[in-house]
Amino acid sequence: MKAVVYRGARHLGVEEREPAAPGRGEVRISVAYTGICGTDLHIYHGDMDSRVGADAIIGHEMSGRIAALGEDVTGWSVGQPVTVLPTRWCGRCAACQRGHSHICHAMNFLGIDSPGAMQSSWNVPAELVLPLPEELPLDQGALVEPVAVAVHDVRRGQVASGDHVVVVGGGPIGVLIGTVAQGRGARVLLVEPDPARRAVAGEVGIEAVDPGAVDVAAFVADRTDGAGADVAFEVSGAAAGVGTAVEVLAARGRLVMVAIHPRPREVNLHRFFWRELELLGARLYQRDDMVEAIRLVASGAIPARQLISRVEPPEAATEAFTALEGGGVMKVLLDWQEGDR
């Protein structure tokens, strides 16, 4: 088997390893595709070395087929297409006891805290595996996890039909949030400075504006008869994005914080007071979100094919990461199917 190994900031290697047999309660998956996400970029930049050790196998967006079953595993068959819910919770902490296991205080996130999906053969606990429809192409199946993020975020924001929604940041998650929100009947505006990403948003039916060319708050006020947006999603991770997301909201509007901000940001709390705004965090997702994401991707409600910008072999992992951090692309996948390339 092959594995992409994180060896330190901006240093990846590709290694040949012997695949291990699945343990009790595990399945071995022949990975087909692994997606690279913003969290993976944070790891690549060395920002998460406190959780990710040297020679770690990262990655958590994936699709593949079951290759072998460990002892005591039933209900699965070899060759079955699957994806993985990459979160293991303790069941004992305060968050788990309150029914919030997806933000467990002792979370083991596969691909960060333990080996992930950037390997051609991956052993995972059977309870974390979800079936994919046989007819769903596996490259599109690799987008289920980021779609689950968007499903959870839109649920967190309580988006309803007729709502005016502003998404600040037009990367893959921002576009997916916009797509899921539109599927609920919301009117969506995406704010994104990168012209290539605005073009992709337009191709999938999402209106997008350049914050460098448009006064976004005035634009939103004009389209809402002065009221403002019902919900804003901050997905950019930039200080300016936070300011924009706060500024566009209507009275009692909801701001959903999706992006990972590596440092504290200045926030206009007076506007929160003045308009009685709400701030909601959205960190991960629950199993129901993954199930809904599979349904949306399989039904064609998510334009998965249009969001895949590049597919690279594992040997080109560094180039794949570089392409993603350079902007101008959406989803970048690693293809582990040597015989099919």
Catalytic residue, chosen from 11, 34, 39, 164, is 39
Residue pair 77/91 in contact by the 8 Å Cβ criterion: no
Active-site option among 11, 34, 42, 270: 42
Is 42 a residue of the active site?
yes
Cα 58 to Cα 115, 250, 271, distances in angstroms: 6, 40, 40
Instruction: Give the residue among 151, 202, 155, 207 at the shortest CA–CA distance from 180.
Output: 151
Q: Are 122 and 316 in contact (CB under 8 A)?
A: no
- List, in order, residues 6 or more apart from 222 with CB less than 8 Å away: none
CA distances 238 to 40, 160, 241, 265, Å, are 18, 27, 5, 9
- Other Cβ atoms closer than 10 A to 133: 12
How far, in Å, are 35, 62, 92, 141, 322 from residue 329 at the CA level?
Answer: 13, 18, 41, 19, 11
Q: Tell me the C-alpha to C-alpha distance, in Å, between residue 30 and each of 65, 82, 304.
A: 5, 10, 21
Rg (CA), the chain: 20
CB-CB contact of 164 with 202 (8 Å): no
What are 259-267's contacts with CB under 8 Å, separation 24+?
A: 259/38, 259/169, 259/234, 259/235, 260/38, 260/39, 260/42, 261/237, 262/42, 262/47, 262/237, 265/239, 266/239, 266/242, 267/242
Q: Report, as residue numbers or ranges, the catalytic residues.
A: 39, 42
